[in-house]
Amino acid sequence: MWLKNSAAALLLQALGASATWSAYQEYLSHLPAHTSKHQAAQPKISFSPNQPFEPLPKSTARGKNCYVQSHNDFKTDDSPYILDALHQCNNGGRAIFPQGTTYVIGTALDLTFLQHIDIQIQGYIQFTNDTDYWQKNAFYQTFQNATTFFQLGGEDVNVYGGGMLDGNGQVWYDLYAKNIYILRPILFGTIGLCSGAISDLNLRYSPQYYNFVANSTDVVFSNLTISGYSQSNNTAKNTDGWDTYRSSNVVIQNSVINNGDDCVSFKPNSTEILVQNLHCNGSHGISVGSLGQYVGQVDIVENVLVQNIQMSNATDGARIKVWPGSPSALSGDLQGGGGSGRVNNITYLDMSIANVDYAIEVTQCYGQKNLTLCNQFPSSLTINDVTMTNIHGTTSTKYQPISGYVVCSDPKVCSNITLNEIAVVSPNGVENEFTCGAVDQSLLHGINCTTINKGSN
């Protein structure tokens, strides 16, 4: 419920210990003692230890500044002000959300018209909790019924400034617990962007994924913080840090992610993706997939490099998940199997884990617990040329003494999976004990395999 008092201090006092209060207090704590209306310097983004797969285009010069107005009352929709500033400074300007200013977005914003513009978010932006409106009006993105509050696209667009976007997720976490078929919006939708950088931002309390990157090329995400857990008994589910989809030459780096699902997930037709220097906590790992979900669709994920990852309190470290050839149901709102395609040239380097259920997980039976049925209908999506090197640390008690899982549905569709310099220890002191099946174990260097026989459950 939106509060009616127009004084920001009284509004926040009334919010009490809510997620909104927590996010805004965090934002205020990072402000300088004396805020002022000023232009933020564009971050100089560098790449180390790896460069992008392809050189990134340079931005054109920016001239005009447009300051985004606000009602600054935590209740009135500021979307018209935002659109006005973006149109005014499109094609060579900067739209500035000043420090210490609060904005409310209650309208789905199509920002795919942007060209050669910087968006400096120094303020605090919150999306309304009008779940009925957003379920009807958020932008439908086709993949797994994903929707977004807004879609940012166009050409040569940079978003930065040190400010905060708050998805007001608590109402969604509670609603999803009652109805798994609701459409929960994604906080940041990068849709159809050709060259740009999203950096130096704080993303909080997304209803679902934090970032969805679709139909985009030459895009960098750098120096983001992501966080937002449920403050009720209802878990914040499907809160992936990033999902990439039908996109290429994307870099995700130098960020801290505290969430409850994949830290990064490479969805269908993600190619030339670089992920480096992330600290992931509470996640489901850095994941290829899930893939092969839809019959008649060809999913391709290839040329992916992941390096320098700290992974803690997670279900997985390095993960590849592919649906089997037969229909399967992971949950009531997530079903599939029978799609085709390939996973090719995937590299994980230098991952440190702590309290992670599986250090490494490779499966072609995603969503299918019956391995007999999975092996009878092997995946139509092939896995080939996967290398995982220097993954080390401790696993959780969940599967001990097992610390990894590499099981394919058939060697004909799953080959050249190589593990090197693996040193993962379960809490009882057993090192490198894996469950293995339908793979070339001679390539799993230093791994002690407990073999799953074909047809076992």
* One-character DSSP codes across 149-169: SEEEEEEEEEEESS-EEE--T
Query: Structure tokens of 257?
Result: 């992610």
Does any domain span residue 376?
Answer: yes
Write the DSSP assignment of 37-82 as a string of letters. Answer: --PPPPP-----S---SSPPPPPPP--EEEEPP---SSSS--HHHH
Does any domain span residue 447?
Answer: yes
Q: What are phi and psi of 88, to 5 degrees?
A: -65, -40
Q: Are residues 294 and 188 in the same domain?
A: no
Distances (CA, A) of 52 to 57, 193, 219, 276, 375: 11, 17, 10, 10, 38
Does any domain span residue 6?
Answer: no
Q: What is the pLDDT of residue 325?
A: 84
**Positions marked catalytic:** 284
Q: Are residues 222 and 351 in the same domain?
A: no
Residue 367 contacts residue 329 (beta carbons within 8 Å):
yes
* Amino acid of residue 188: F
* Amino acid of residue 265: S
Q: Are residues 57 and 189 in the same domain?
A: yes
**Where does a domain end: 209, 232, 255?**
232
Question: Around Cβ 77, how many Cβ atoms within 10 Å?
Answer: 15
Q: Are residues 328 and 222 in the same domain?
A: no
Q: What is the pLDDT of residue 30?
A: 85
Does any domain span residue 302?
Answer: yes
Task: Tell me if residue 426 falls in helix, strand or coil.
Answer: coil
Question: How many CA atoms does the CB half-sphere of 384 hold within 13 Å?
Answer: 9
Q: Are residues 421 and 340 in the same domain?
A: yes
- In this prediction, the residues of the chain whose per-residue pLDDT falls under 50 are 1-7, 9, 12-17, 454-457
Question: Around Cβ 50, how many Cβ atoms within 10 Å?
Answer: 17
d(CA 431, CA 265) in angstroms, rounded, equals 27
Who's near 426: CB < 8 A, 6+ residues apart?
Answer: 394, 395, 397, 399, 400, 401, 402, 403, 433
Does any domain span residue 388?
Answer: yes
Q: Are residues 295 and 389 in the same domain?
A: yes
Domain total for the chain? Answer: 2
Does any domain span residue 401?
Answer: yes
291-295-298-301 Cα dihedral, nearest 10 degrees: 0
**Where does a domain end: 188, 217, 232?**
232
From the number of C-beta atoms within 10 Å of its C-beta (0-12, 13-18, 19+), residue 33 rates as exposed
Question: How many CA atoms does the CB half-sphere of 306 hold within 13 Å?
Answer: 31
Q: Are residues 183 and 330 in the same domain?
A: no
d(CA 185, CA 87) in angstroms, rounded, equals 24
Q: Are residues 314 and 452 in the same domain?
A: yes
Helix runs in 212-258, H state only: none
Does any domain span residue 73?
Answer: yes
Q: What is the CATH number of the domain that holds 434?
A: 2.160.20.10
Q: What are phi and psi of 189, to 5 degrees?
A: -105, 110
Who's near 153: CB < 8 A, 6+ residues apart?
Answer: 111, 112, 114, 190, 191, 192, 193, 194, 215, 216
Q: Are residues 225 and 83 in the same domain?
A: yes
Q: Are residues 421 and 321 in the same domain?
A: yes
d(CA 413, CA 438) in angstroms, rounded, equals 10
Angle at which helices 19-29 and 8-15 cross, to 10°? 130
* Amino acid of residue 424: V
Residue written as token pair 């500044």? 65
Does any domain span residue 395?
Answer: yes
Q: Are residues 203 and 310 in the same domain?
A: no
**Where does a domain end: 197, 217, 232?**
232
For the entire predicted model, the pTM comes to: 0.94
Query: Structure tokens of 145?
Result: 């019924």
Q: Are residues 295 and 214 in the same domain?
A: no
Task: Tell me if residue 308 falls in helix, strand or coil.
Answer: strand
Tell me the residue range of the domain where 303 lies: 284-457
Q: What are phi and psi of 310, to 5 degrees?
A: -105, 120
Q: What is the pLDDT of residue 376?
A: 81
